[in-house]
Amino acid sequence: MRTPGILLTGIVVILVFGYGLQMACAGDQDAVQRLLSTGECAGCDLSSADLSSRNLSEADLRGANLRHANLTSTVLFKTNLHSVDLRGATLADASLGRADLTDANLADQVLGGARLGRAILRGANLANSALVGANLDGADLTGADLRKSDLSDAVLRNTRVGQADFSGSMLSGADLSGIDLSRVASLARVDLSRAKMVRARMQNLDLSDVNLEEANLKYADLTGAVLRGAVLQRAELTKSRLERADLTNANLEGAVLQGTRLNGARLEGARLAGTLLSGSLIGLDLSAADLHGANLSGANLKDTNFRGANLERALLPGANLYGADFTGANLRNANFKGANLGNARFDDADTTGANFSEARGIEQP
């Protein structure tokens, strides 16, 4: 008998809820209209708003809620997006050049191909974001959280990255030319394979176990860097600086180190098979290093420690090996033709098949 009353109450509730929802949508629409007419909507709730293909250059959106907003092909050049929440927003083909995204939340965001040249991303949250092929040339990523982000093939030339956390990130094929990485918070477990890092600065940086396979590190400064167990197979290190670097157990097979500065570097247990080394390498510690088939032709290896190293089939013609220590080394079929071996030590070394023709300083061991 109370059914009509219950039904009436339900209708009233539905109407009230619908009215409230309508008012909320109206409020959102008002915020959109305010933004489009004045270019200012700081702190506005623009969640799920459709702002695609709009020109919002230099608009003030500080602290706005843009979660799940549609910003496809939107122009946000020099837009103030300080502290905005962009989680779940669609930013495909958006233009964010010189935008201020300081402390913005872009976690889990898809920004592949986004144009972020000279954008300000200081302290921004970009964890787990997809930035494949993104243009970040000259951007400011100081203190940004980039953990587990995918920056494959992204452009980060001359980008500021002091205190940025890249741990677990993918930077394969990225262009980091001229970048100063010496003050980043972390590069732990980063993949830098095929990365272009010409003239990059990485002094005293911890790159232990980092993948740098086929990376271009020409003229890069790795002075004092820790590269223990790092993968540098087929890396281009021509004229790079590795003085006092720790390359213990690093894999340098097939790497090119022409003119590379390695004075004081540690290479114990390093794998250098097929590596091309030249220039001044005085006083290196290559004890127990794997140098089989390495090309050391004409290199200055004065006083180098080769104790227990594997130099089978290594090429050392014309090399300066004065005072070098080959104690216990495997020198089978190594080529020492014309090398300077004055004061070199060969105690317990295996010289079977080694070529010492025209070598100076000693008689064939």
- pLDDT tens digit sequence for 174-193: 999 999 999 999 999 999 99
Number of neighbouring beta carbons within 10 Å of residue 143: 18
What DSSP designation does 191 have? B
What are 267-278's pLDDT values in tens digits?
Answer: 888 888 888 887
Per the DSSP assignment, residues forming a β-bridge with 323 are: none
CA 20 – CA 141 distance, rounded (Å): 41
CA 99 – CA 122 distance, rounded (Å): 11
Most confident of 12-16, 271-275, 283-287, 337-341: 337-341
Question: Does 258 have pLDDT greater than 90?
Answer: no
3-state secondary structure (DSSP) of residue 14: helix
What is the model's pTM?
A: 0.82
CA 139 – CA 28 distance, rounded (Å): 32
pLDDT bucket at 12, cuts 50 / 70 / 90: very low
Question: Does 1 have pLDDT greater than 50?
Answer: no
Residues of the chain by 3-state class (helix, strand, coil), percent to 5: 10, 20, 70
**Which of 242, 239, 218 lies closest to 230, judged by CA?**
242
Are 238 and 257 in contact by the 8 Å Cβ rule? The answer is yes
CA 40 – CA 133 distance, rounded (Å): 31
Are 264 and 247 in contact by the 8 Å Cβ rule? The answer is no
CA 239 – CA 283 distance, rounded (Å): 18
